[in-house]
Amino acid sequence: MITTQLLVLGAIALRKQTHGYVVYRELTEWRVDTWACVKPGSIYHALTQLEKQQYIQSIKNEPGEKGGARTLYAITGKGDAALKEGIETALESLEMDKYSAGIALRRLIPHEVLLQTQRKRLENLKGIYQFMRTLPKKEGGTPAEEPGLVDYWTGFFEYSIQHTEAFINNVNDEGKDEE
């Protein structure tokens, strides 16, 4: 599932039933345009695709304020299962926009599942980081040996490890507060 579809499905799940414009407004308030490649047109396209996939269904059409019809959407059982799977996949992802969407929607999955995804992500990050540290760096070498590039990616994975460890600690603390 692409990030836009995941975010749209999550926004509908959070509201139980909602109109497409409300989904658009909600995602705009989340500022998804700053951390994910979500544009207004892609939100409406995602609604169409999610309905075709039977992840959402139109409950009713109502007359709009300016004459056009407004469709009220709700998530289906199939959509709820796809949403939970999509969130889990996003939370393990190394792609920033997917991972960000997973974090935004994390409260829609069980606490222990959230921790499992983060432990798996941390393991993957550490493996990549160790590999990145073995790469040769050579001024004037191949692009793969460019010190600026190797250092950038090594630093990215080092930070991602630190972030994920801190996130796991925060999630653990939240779990203690809920007990």
pLDDT tens for 110-138 read 999 999 999 999 999 999 999 999 999 98
Helix orientation angle between 3-15 and 77-92, rounded to the nearest 10 degrees: 130
Judged by average pLDDT, the poorest of 17-26, 108-117, 169-178 is: 169-178
CA distance 76 to 131: 42
CB 108 within 8 A of CB 13: yes
- Mean pLDDT over the full length of the chain: 89
Please, what is the end-to-end C-alpha distance for the chain in angstroms? Answer: 33
pLDDT band at 64 (very low <50, low <70, confident <90, very high): low
Structure tokens at 133: 């540290």
* Tally of residues, the chain: 179
Give CA–CA dist 119/154, Å, rounded: 20
pLDDT number for residue 151: 93
d(CA 153, CA 138): 15
Coil/strand/helix, residue 57: strand
Closest CA to 55 of 35, 36, 41, 74: 74
Q: Which residue has the tokens 């600690």?
A: 169
Does pLDDT of 177 surpass 80? no
Which H or E run includes 91? helix 77-92
pTM equals: 0.85
Average pLDDT over residues 43-50: 89
Residue 42 is which amino acid?
S
Separation of alpha carbons 106 and 1, rounded Å: 16
How sure is the predictor about 179, in pLDDT bands with cuts at 50, 70 and 90?
Answer: low
